[in-house]
Amino acid sequence: LEDNQPIGTTGEIAKGSVITVESDGIYVDIGGKAPGFMPKNECGLGVITNLKERFPKGLQVEVLVTREQNADGIVTISCRALELRKSWEKVQNLAKEGKVIRVKINGFNRGGVTCDFEGLRGFIPRSQLEDGENHQSLVSKTINTAFLEVNPERRKLVLSEKKAAIASRFSELEIGQLIEGEILTIKPYGFFVDLKGVSGLLHHSMVTNGTMRSLREVFQTGESIKALITDLDPSRGRIGLNTALLEGPPGELITDKEKVMQEADERAIKARNSLNKEKVGNQQEDIAINPSS
C-alpha cells in the first residue's frame, strides 16, 4: 500500500534524477509509481536552448510540484517555480534587513522603469528615481535601489533609488557618533536637523539639562550645530540626536553655547564612554532578570 501512495502534493519540494528528455520537457524519477514531468518552459528562469545538454540522464534535480498526479500517476513539476520561490524568500530577507541592491534597468513606461533581480521583475516608480524626469535615459544603466514593497502573492516587487540613497547614508552612521548638521525647522517638540541627505530629530528633552523658556533660546533655523546620535532606526528612517550630553554644567548650552560647540569633539569622547557604560549596565540588568537569555 505504501508503494502505491501518491507522491508529490502541490507546493511540495521533491528530489529526483532525470530519466529522459523529450522535445516538450523532461521526465524525472521522484519516487512515485510514475515519473514527474517538467514542461520545457518550467526547466529554469532563463531560456534553455539545449535541454539534453542542460539535463543529462541521471542528473539529480530539486523541483517543486505544481500539479498533483493525473490519471496516469504523473505529477507536473517545475525547476522554475522552485527558483522563483527561493528568489522571493531571498528578497523578503533582504528587505527585512534593509539591504541596498544594485539592479540593471532593462525597460521603461510612463510610470517608471523596470529591472530584473534574482529572476524577478522589479518596478521603480518615477517618483522614486533621483532623475524621474528623464527616466528613459536609465535603460541599460545599473543603479542602487532599496525595497519599497515585496509581495510574493501578488508578484509585486517595488524598489526605490531615493530610499537606497537614504539607506546608504544610514550605513555611515552609528550610535555615539558626533555629527554636524544644520537646523532645518523648529517644531514645538524639537529641532529637525539636516545631516547631509537625511534628517535627525533633536527632541526638546535632549537639548539641554538646564531649563529652557523656548527652543529658540538655544538654536535658530539655519544654524550649524554638533550633536551626538543616541537613537538610530534605519527601518523607520529615524535618527535621534542629543546635545545635552555635551554640556558640562546643566544649562551650559544656554549660557555658553559657543564653548560647548567648540569643545564638542573632546566632550563627545566622554559622552560616548557614558553611553557605553549605560549600555553594558542595561545588558547586565537584562541578564539578571532573564538568566536563561
Count of CB atoms situated within 10 Å of the CB of 111: 12
How confident is the chain (293 residues) per 10-residue block, as mean pLDDT?
54 93 94 88 88 94 91 90 95 90 96 95 96 92 95 96 89 92 96 92 96 94 96 86 95 95 94 70 53 53
Apex 14 CA angle, 11 and 16, nearest 5: 150
Dump pLDDT digits (tens) for 235-269: 778 999 999 999 999 999 999 999 999 999 999 99
Q: How would DSSP label each residue in 231-276?
A: EEETTTTEEEEESGGG-SSTTHHHH-HHHHHHTHHHHHHHHHHHHH
Q: What stretch of H or E contains 148?
A: strand 142-151
From 127, 121, 170, 162, select the one nearest 145 (Cα to Cα): 162
Dump pLDDT digits (tens) for 72-85: 888 999 999 999 99
Q: What is the largest CA-CA distance in the chain?
A: 89
Query: In this predicted structure, what is the pLDDT of residue 234?
Result: 79
Query: In this predicted structure, what is the pLDDT of residue 258?
Result: 96
Identity (one letter) of the amino acid at 149?
Answer: E
Query: In this predicted structure, what is the pLDDT of residue 129?
Result: 96
Q: 250 near 257, Cβ under 8 Å?
A: no
Tell me the pTM: 0.66
